[in-house]
């Protein structure tokens, strides 16, 4: 089968197409004939060698895969031909294995590219907003990168929950997309200081919650637009730099910062993470939520997909199709 391999840590040039044996499902696993695989910024961080606990080269990346079950391992109560999406370890391939206990059914109304944009984005968005962030109706939330994969999911979920949603992005086109999904206050961070915009719009009160997947200076500056007793959930560092909040600012304002990592949370407290699945599945099936697929690349062009995201050209979910 065709698979994509990261040969060493580095830029997108270390991504190569290779041939591998079709994997056999172990006990408790299924094999999926891949219809689409999601591309996440975590894939890029792993490729750069900046992902704590990430795989060592050479390896096949890819952590969410949608497709059709074509083989089942011992002890699995699943049928060949079922449409599913799963968290995987080696998704950039024509076939991938996955733990049968973690499969999500894909409704006929949903395409595989849409399904591949569901697990990481919507679980991360729901967990950071509600399970970790404690967002309630009537509160204000600031979503950074509101037109990205997690951002488009978080914007919809927060708006649906009755929150007032602020969001940042780098272009008018991206902000228009986020507004269509429920963003109340679009902020072009290339033109304005987002903290100033937030504070002007709230008469200096600020927001109750910030979702920060950027890190670096964005983390520090986000504290400037939190209300007293405000919360921040840090779930990534797309800037390539960690954030360094001033602890004196935290204590004086009674701020709370939560860290969130989907993979580690799944390993240590899967029930807490997966509590959101029935609610999310209902919303997606009923058409109340939209998986925004921004761009689709052939599997063999995985390197181009990585560059597309790194160049900040993407909106919504980027996916690969074999």
Q: To 5 degrees, how large is the angle CA 113–CA 115–CA 121?
A: 105
Q: Which of 71-85, 142-156, 269-283 has the lowest mean pLDDT?
A: 269-283
For residue 285, pLDDT beyond 80:
no
pLDDT at res. 205: 97
Residue 158's pLDDT band, with cuts at 50, 70 and 90, is very high
| Mean of pLDDT values over 312-316 | 80
- How large a percentage of the chain has pLDDT more than 90? 75
The fold adopted by the segment(s) 2-118+291-321 is: Quinone Oxidoreductase; Chain A, domain 1 (3.90.180)
pLDDT at res. 90: 94
Residues sharing a CB contact under 8 Å with residue 219, sequence separation 6 or more, in sequence order: 212, 232, 234, 242, 243, 244, 245
| Mean of pLDDT values over 196-222 | 96
- Displacement of CA 76 from its chain's centroid (Å): 28
Residue 186's pLDDT band, with cuts at 50, 70 and 90, is very high
For residue 82, pLDDT beyond 90:
yes
**Bigger pLDDT: 316 vs 262:** 262
pLDDT at res. 175: 96
| Mean of pLDDT values over 162-191 | 96
For residue 316, pLDDT beyond 90:
no
**Bigger pLDDT: 224 vs 87:** 224
End-to-end CA, the chain: 10
Q: Give me the chain's average pLDDT, please.
A: 93
pLDDT at res. 312: 80
pLDDT at res. 166: 98
Handedness of CA 125, 129, 243, 178 (dihedral sign): positive
199/225 Cα distance (integer angstroms): 6
pLDDT at res. 282: 83
Residue 84's pLDDT band, with cuts at 50, 70 and 90, is very high
Residue 170: both structure tokens together:
């780098």
CA distances from residue 211 to 71, 77, 222, 248, 260 in whole angstroms, order as listed: 39, 38, 9, 21, 10
Q: Is 121-263 the same fold as 2-118+291-321? A: no
pLDDT at res. 193: 95
Q: Tell me which CATH code domain 121-263 carries.
A: 3.40.50.720
pLDDT at res. 288: 85
The domain limits of the chain are 2-118+291-321, 121-263
């Amino acid at each position: 089968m065709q698979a994509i391999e990261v040969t060493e840590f580095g830029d997108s040039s270390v991504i190569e197409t290779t041939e591998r044996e079709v994997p056999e499902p172990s006990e408790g696993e299924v094999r999926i004939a891949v219809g689409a695989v999601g591309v996440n910024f975590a894939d890029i961080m792993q490729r750069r060698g900046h992902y704590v606990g990430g795989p060592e080269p050479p390896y096949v990346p890819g952590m969410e895969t949608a497709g059709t079950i074509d083989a089942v391992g011992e002890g699995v109560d699943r049928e060949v031909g079922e449409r599913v999406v799963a968290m995987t370890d080696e998704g950039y391939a024509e076939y991938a294995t996955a733990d049968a206990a973690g499969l999500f059914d894909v409704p006929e109304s949903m395409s595989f590219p849409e399904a591949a944009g569901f697990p990481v984005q919507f679980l991360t968005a729901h967990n950071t907003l509600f399970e970790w962030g404690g967002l309630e109706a009537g509160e204000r939330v600031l979503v950074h990168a509101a037109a990205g994969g997690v951002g488009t999911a978080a914007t919809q979920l927060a708006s649906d929950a009755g929150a007032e949603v602020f969001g940042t992005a780098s272009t008018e086109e991206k902000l228009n997309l986020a507004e269509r999904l429920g963003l109340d206050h679009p902020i072009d961070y290339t033109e304005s200081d987002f903290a100033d915009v937030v504070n002007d719009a709230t008469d200096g009160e600020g927001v109750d919650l910030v979702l920060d997947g950027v890190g670096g200076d964005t983390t520090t500056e986000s504290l400037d637009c939190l209300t007293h007793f405000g919360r921040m959930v840090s779930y990534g560092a797309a800037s390539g730099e960690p954030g360094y909040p001033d602890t004196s600012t935290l204590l004086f304002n009674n701020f709370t910062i939560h860290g969130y990592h989907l993979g580690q949370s799944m390993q240590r407290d899967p029930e807490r993470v997966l509590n959101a699945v029935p609610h999310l599945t209902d919303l997606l099936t009923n058409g109340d939520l939209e998986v925004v697929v921004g761009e689709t690349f052939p599997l063999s062009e995985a390197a181009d997909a990585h560059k597309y995201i790194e160049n900040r050209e993407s909106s919504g979910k980027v996916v690969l199709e074999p």
